[in-house]
Chains A and B, each alone.
Chain A
Amino acid sequence: MKKKLDLKILENSDIKTIEALSYKYRALDDAEAEKIFRRITNDTEEYYEEAQEHNVEIYHRPIWRKALSAAVSLTIVAGITTLGSLFYSQLKKSDSLNNTASYSASDSLENTFTPVAITDDYNGDILGVRNWHIEKAKNNKYGNTLSVKFVNDDTGSEFAYSECSEDKPYAYLADLDNDGTNELICNKVFGIFGGTTNDHAVIYRLRGETIEELCLFDRS
């Protein structure tokens, strides 16, 4: 193999050779000459910008690195997608469980509303009162209606009052607020309440040892 030609011998030449070289051959082109002149006239900033551009080394990334980077990127994206979808499905599942739970809770709440009709046959507790009796009176003014008083046998006092048709239950027991104790729901057909008649009910509830009375009516 032939050795590559190198005109190193022309280095450090005597002035005659240098003059011959400079006389016969251009050492640099116009752009390079302009660059040096700008540098001389203190336009150094522009010179360095050009010098940096001129000296930019083009870096070729190896193909295997590109492939590896792409594979790693894809793996990360796939991982994020999988985890995201997994998390989303878990979230959906827990949501559906919550919904089922809430439905069953509401179902159970509905069940508590199944009222217990108080008739002559009923002999259980009413609002925590074990010994009680009913005092009925027929209301002549409205015909076929009864005024019903619930009386505590131990104290002798009336603790609830209801009005009803003769062939209907006197009142109903139901755990409306789901607190484990039945409330007493009574009808009021005679009195004027909220501006109209025959449209309201009275609910008696037990709070501690006190029986409270709540009036409900339909404004519509």
Chain B
Amino acid sequence: MKHSEYQQLLKTDKCKAQRTVFDEYLNYVYTIAFNRLRSCGSREDVDECVSDIFKDIFDSYENKPIADNDIKGFISTVALRKSAAYYHRLCRNKNSISLDDEHTDTFPSDENISESAEKNEMRRTLMKLIESLGEPDSTIIIQKYYYGRNSFEISGFVSLTPAMIRVRSSRALKKLRRLLSDNDISI
């Protein structure tokens, strides 16, 4: 969806316009927020963050003229920034230092570019390996070990019973471990 299309829809039916954007980009926004807050926030925090992101998006499109027609780029920017703000709010005392601190200038950055590049490469390989498990095993693995859902919750994503999901999950995990070992990946 483009910004102009959204604006057109907004003029005729505001509710429908918001619902369309929400349905189209919810998975994307939620993935961004969850990816950032997975370790430091609860599921409720992620829900709150996602709803705040959409509120900001709707508010921006309604009240301010947006020059860029790329709605996805705008949404991802808002989502990343809002998630980062939530992350800093939730993990304030863990990883942040004050700018007023006199040692701020000499404080080394945690970012290691080469390590970061290696990690990104490893992530892509991991994603490919998980994908190679095929459906529904890949979905089960992601939902269980990334989103932290139980078998009953996962049954809402794949058409299997919780008992069957547990069996398949166990087999898929063994297979994934073997694949990771073959690719010299340790996680």
Contact present for A37 and B157 (CB under 8 Å): no
Instruction: For the complex, give the distance between the alpha carbons of A20 and B27 in Å.
Output: 11
Q: Does B171 contact A (CB under 8 A)?
A: no
Q: Does B86 contact A (CB under 8 A)?
A: no
Among A18, A28, A29, the residue within 8 A (CB) of B35 is: A18
Contact present for A27 and B30 (CB under 8 Å): yes
Contact present for B126 and A7 (CB under 8 Å): yes
Residues of A contacting B55 with CB < 8 Å?
40
Instruction: For the complex, give the distance between the alpha carbons of A31 and B145 in Å.
Output: 21
Instruction: For the complex, give the distance between the alpha carbons of A164 and B139 in Å.
Output: 126
Q: Does A6 contact B (CB under 8 A)?
A: yes
Please tell me which stretch of B5-13, B99-107, B115-123 contacts chain A, meaning at least 4 of its Cβ atoms lie within 8 angstroms of it: B115-123
Residues of A contacting B76 with CB < 8 Å?
15
Residues of B contacting A24 with CB < 8 Å?
127, 131, 138
Contact present for B22 and A37 (CB under 8 Å): yes
Interface residues on A, range: 35 or more
Please tell me which stretch of B36-44, B63-71, B159-167 contacts chain A, meaning at least 4 of its Cβ atoms lie within 8 angstroms of it: B36-44
Residues of B contacting A40 with CB < 8 Å?
18, 22, 51, 54-55, 58
Q: Does B94 contact A (CB under 8 A)?
A: no
Contact present for B44 and A55 (CB under 8 Å): yes
Contact present for A8 and B142 (CB under 8 Å): no
- Asked, given contacts A6-B145, A10-B123, A20-B127, whether A27 binds B34 with beta carbons under 8 Å apart, the answer is yes
Q: Please tell me the number of chain B residues within 8 Å of chain A, measured between CB atoms.
A: 49
Contact present for A26 and B120 (CB under 8 Å): no
Q: Does B143 contact A (CB under 8 A)?
A: yes
Q: Does A64 contact B (CB under 8 A)?
A: no
Contact present for A9 and B147 (CB under 8 Å): no
Contact present for B145 and A5 (CB under 8 Å): yes
Contact present for B123 and A51 (CB under 8 Å): no
Output the least CB separation between A52 and chain B (Å).
10
Contact present for B187 and A18 (CB under 8 Å): no
Within 8 A of B (CB), among A5-47: 5-22, 24-29, 31-33, 35-37, 39-41
7 contacts between A and B (CB under 8 A): A5-B176, A12-B35, A17-B123, A18-B35, A21-B31, A27-B34, A36-B30
B residues adjacent to A (C-beta < 8 A): 15, 18-19, 22-23, 26-28, 30-32, 34-36, 38-39, 44, 47-48, 50-51, 54-55, 58, 76, 80, 119-120, 122-124, 126-127, 131, 138-139, 141-143, 145-147, 153, 156-157, 173, 176-177, 187
